[in-house]
Amino acid sequence: MRIFVTGAAGFIGSHYVRGLLDGEHADVPDAHVTVLDKVTYAGNLNNLPIGHPRLTFVRGDVCDDELLNEVLPGHDAVVHFAAESHVDRSLMSGAPFVTTNVLGTQTVLEACRRTGVRRIVHVSTDEVYGSIAEGSWTERSLLEPNSPYAASKAASDMLARAYWRSHGLEISITRCSNNYGPYQFVEKVIPLFITNLIDGHDVPLYGDGHQVRDWLHVSDHCRAIHQVLMNGRAGEIYNISGGVELSNRELTGRLLELCGVGWDRVRQVPDRKAHDERYSVDTIKIRDELGFAPQVAFEDGIAQVVAWYRDNRAWWEPLRRGADLAAER
Ligand code: NAD
């Protein structure tokens, strides 16, 4: 099987591609993978086994339809991860989010239509639903995105649906909760806090940290995406989550404990604008239809992630130097 993966120099896409090449997905033992990635500030070639005989890496933009015309034909499927993905950046400037997430998705879908690549998984997020005080969203819930990031992802979901309905492309959409794992760029809360603590700095907690997020290990997310690719139905949306709800304060406490430091290392900073209170997706559909259940227990997974950042300073230190993390909060 030849799989075309966009945005796989980033956190989740690179995990998926490493898994494909390492034989983690038994139904595609010899998958050939083409990665298309612009290598923005969030992309990192060190996340991929460049030079692997079954990997072709193309540096380029998902908005570049001529390039897509050239490199897409002959693939059996597309898994579309490429996106601008950081909510805080979208609050500073929404334009790159609309360009990559909306126009980029439309360009990829149009190229699939033109070149006859029919099977596509569009990787989206639970943030498209907005914020929910109680209960959980099903795949049929209203979309009420609150950040430019979430709005651009919601728009891309609508385009994916339209290309399924209008052009008969076999598109499935996944909407996952927050991921954690190794190789996550240092601006996101878990790696930011861990690397700050390892380096002896404080960690900036938004407001009183009461907002709730549902955490899933990246390997479970990738297994779910792969199951959707192989067995999911076209035109369908699949929610994915770990079912591990933690307030940001609870998460911070866990990270402080694992790093062996106390609450004196926490600096309260003004809350994010329109900070979503809670995300929660109902995952009965993917469980019942595809038999998906997360395998990594949060306690184990988060301890491994702290250990990974401790053991892989050479991976993240240059990224911290390059990123203006102070400006993040
Ligand atoms: P990431 O920011 O780590 O990686 C994004 C990748 O896309 C980078 O390699 C970047 O170089 C590439 N990219 C950006 N713009 C591009 C363009 N115009 N053309 C080609 N490549 C481009 O993101 P991530 O956390 O790995 O997220 C991947 C996908 O999963 C996104 O679509 C995101 O919305 C979705 N998602 C993420 C989470 C999460 O918790 N991180 C949860 C649910 C869904």
The tens digit of pLDDT for each residue in 25-56 reads: 999 999 999 999 999 999 999 999 999 999 99
Pairing of strands 170-176, 178-180: unpaired
- pLDDT score of 308 more than 90: yes
Q: Ligand 1 centroid to 262 CA: how many Å? A: 32
Q: Per-residue pLDDT averaged across 161-173, rounded?
A: 98
Give the model's confidence band at 328: pLDDT under 50 very low, under 70 low, under 90 confident, else very high.
very low
Architecture of domain 182-213+244-279+296-320: Alpha-Beta Complex (3.90)
pTM for the model: 0.97
The values of phi and psi at residue 146, to 5°, are -110, -15
134 is catalytic: no
Mutate to test the pocket of ligand 1, among 40, 152, 174 (most ligand atoms within 8 A of CB): 40
Query: What's the mean pLDDT in 154-159?
Result: 98
Could you report the per-residue pLDDT of 187-222, keeping only the tens digit for each?
999 999 999 999 999 999 999 999 999 999 999 999
Tell whether the model's pLDDT for residue 88 goes beyond 70: yes
pLDDT score recorded for residue 325: 56
Would residue 127 show up in a list of annotated catalytic residues for this protein? yes
Which residues form the pocket of ligand 1, taking CB atoms under 6 Å from any ligand atom? 6-7, 9-13, 37-40, 42-43, 61-63, 81-85, 100, 104, 123, 125, 153, 176, 178-179, 185
Residue 112 has pLDDT above 70, yes or no: yes
Concerning whether 126 is annotated as a catalytic residue, the answer is yes
Please give the pLDDT value at position 321. Answer: 87
Q: Which residue has the tokens 């693939």?
A: 75
Residue range 133-152: mean pLDDT, rounded: 97
**Burial (0-12, 13-18, 19+ Cβ within 10 Å), 7:** buried
Q: How far is the CA of 146 from the centre of ligand 1 (A)?
A: 19
Average pLDDT in the 172-180 region?
98
Q: What mean pLDDT, rounded, does the chain reach?
A: 96
Confidence of residue 303 (pLDDT cuts 50, 70, 90): very high
User: What is the model's pLDDT at position 164?
Assistant: 98
Domain coordinates in residue numbering, the chain: 2-179+216-240, 182-213+244-279+296-320
Q: In the numeric block, which tokens belong to residue 125?
A: 């997020």
In the predicted model, is pLDDT for residue 327 greater than 70? Answer: no
pLDDT of residue 151: 98
Does domain 2-179+216-240 fall under CATH 3.40.50.150? My reply is no
Is residue 160 scored above 50 in pLDDT? yes
Q: Which of 37, 61, 84, 149 is catalytic?
A: 149
CB 38 within 8 A of CB 81: no
Arithmetic mean of pLDDT, 68-96:
97
Is a pLDDT exceeding 90 seen at residue 324?
A: no
Instruction: Give the per-residue pLDDT at 329.
Output: 44
